Amino acid sequence: MSVQSVDRALDILEALADQGGEAGLSEIAARTGLPYGTIHRLLQTLLNRGYVRQESDRRYALGGSLVRVGGVAEGMVGGWAEPYLTKMVELSGETANMAVLEGDFVVYVAQVPSPRRLRMFAEVGRRVLPHSTAVGKVLLADRADAAAVFGRTGLPRRTEHTITSVERMLAELAAVRECGYAMDLGEEELGVHCLAVPVSDGDRVVAGMSVSGPAERIDALDRDELARGLRKIADDFGAEAFGSGR
């Protein structure tokens, strides 16, 4: 039903992404379990098309052709998310956002604003560091290399509530994994609180969705109940947009 060689080529691309975009042939072999000869041949093909690039030290890296295709895809996904974000707005009364991780940044790719007078607005396209946002936390909670990300970006203080210690942050991420949602209590912007839930493709967290609003309004909601509702919506979206088969 599926074309084997294409499936395997995608495995290789994903293995490369998992390793941060760069890996040697044997690392790919370890991760995918495919025989060397096969991987090498598949890599040649991806190389010819610019989907993979070979560094001077013979290691392989994700290539430029993916940027264009990925960019177009990102626009699509943002569009599909809107009905789901709308449900989140209905459920919470607050502005809903979707964001993905791009390199070490959180990028907002879609938004549906709250109907209220006082509301969060126009985040689409914004790039922020993950440590001070609720979506950032759900996105990193799933990644084994979260500590490495903090090593590169640091945890700059944005407000008096920002978590600036790596240990405390890792503990926070553990808590997020535990309860399945993340909060931002004025850590990015004073007076703004958010609750974020993960969007999964059934295997890994690929995006986050959140609602954000004035601290008092968010705090007035029942977190666990709200989180349950949002998770449901996010799961539906994940299944629709990313799921399919596997």
Partner DNA sequence: AGTGGTTTTCCATATTATGGAAAGGGATGC
Partner DNA sequence: GCATCCCTTTCCATAATATGGAAAACCACT
26 binds, among DNA, a copy of itself, none (CB under 5 to 8 A by kind): DNA
DSSP labels, 96-134:
EEEEEEETTEEEEEEEE--SSSS-----TT-EE-GGGSH
Member of 59, 116, 119, 126 binding a copy of itself (CB under 8 A): 126
| Of positions 26, 30, 36, 69, contacts a copy of itself by CB under 8 A | 69
Distance CA 113, CA 210 (A): 12
* 59 touches DNA (CB under 7 A): yes
> Among 49, 157, 223, 228, which residue interacts with a copy of itself (rule: CB under 8 A)?
49
Nearer to DNA, 25 or 170 (CB): 25
DSSP, collapsed to helix, strand or coil, labels residue 7 as helix
Binding partner of 40, given DNA, a copy of itself, none, CB within 5-8 angstroms per partner class? DNA
> Segment contacting DNA (CB under 7 A): 20-28, 89-97, 152-160, 203-211?
20-28
Q: Which stretch binds DNA (CB under 7 A): 35-43, 67-75, 109-117, 118-126?
A: 35-43
Can you list the alpha helix ranges (DSSP code H) found in 120-221?
134-141, 146-153, 166-179, 215-219
Contact 126, 106 (CB under 8 A): no
Nearest to 25, CA basis, from 34, 17, 6: 34
**Hey, which residues between 136 and 175 contact a copy of itself (CB under 8 A)?**
none
Would you say 24 or 93 has its CB closer to DNA?
A: 24
Burial class (CB in 10 A: 0-12, 13-18, 19+), 27: middle
